[in-house]
Amino acid sequence: MNEVKKYAYQCKAKKAVEILNDRRFDAHFADNADEAREIVKGLMPAGSEIAVGGSVTLQETGIMELIKSGDYKFIDRFNVSSWEEELHKYRLGYLSDIFVTSSNAVTMDGKLVNMDCTGNRVGAIGFGPKKVIVVIGVNKLVENVEEGIKRAKEIAPMNSRRINHKNPCDQTMTCENCTGTNRICNIISIIDGCYKFPGRISVVVVAEELGY
């Protein structure tokens, strides 16, 4: 990566971490994906029961591989035989020790913005698991909630195609304002600070572009 661009990413990521910590999140700066993975590892005691949200970022950083290493009790929502079993795994996630995911956007005034199809991810971030770990690249940092929602809507077609939801946007890569069962943008969540349970949500901000 160009040194000037990398420095800009580092500055932005560190500023976001400072703001998030001021709003009672447990925020950490990571210079790269490897550092992010080590930070996350340090936040997950061996033997913890862990659930995850669907995330390209977790794949790219190797965090999913870490979670599946055998050192943790992984609630595997991916290898299921039916939709009913998948829903059951989602519900188990609310009682997990740790929920690990990414975020569609994080604002530079310290808010997490997410958009979901089913709601298991946004629900778990808000309440349920004892601990939440959110990992984001600098590409997900935006100025405010309005930009965060705009960003979530813009990347929704890619996520829809990634998980094979077969929505109209899968083909056009633009929002078609669909109304089908698999509509990916049903629920919007804004976490406006971490004041009720300070430090419950850890946010690892990585000075690289990660995920969608």
Cβ neighbours for 104, distance < 8 A, ≥ 6 positions apart: 113, 114, 115, 140, 148, 151, 152, 155
pTM of the model: 0.94
Number of neighbours of residue 177 by Cβ within 10 angstroms: 8
What pLDDT is stored for residue 156 in this prediction?
Answer: 84
Question: Over the stretch 4-62, which tens digit does the pLDDT of each residue have?
Answer: 999 999 999 999 999 999 999 999 999 999 999 999 999 999 999 999 998 999 999 99
Task: Please name each of the domains of the chain with its CATH number.
Answer: 3-206 (3.40.50.10420)
Residue % of the chain over a pLDDT of 90: 83
Q: Which two tokens stand for residue 188?
A: 């919007």
How far is the C-alpha of 36 from the C-alpha of 41, rounded, in Å? 9
Q: What share of the chain is helix, strand, coil (3-state, %, to 5)?
A: 40, 20, 40
Q: What is the pLDDT of residue 168?
A: 86
pLDDT at 177 exceeding the cut of 90: no
pLDDT digit string, tens, across residues 126-163: 999 999 999 999 999 999 999 999 999 998 888 888 87
As to burial, measured by CB atoms within 10 angstroms (0-12 exposed, 13-18 middle, 19+ buried), residue 67 is: buried
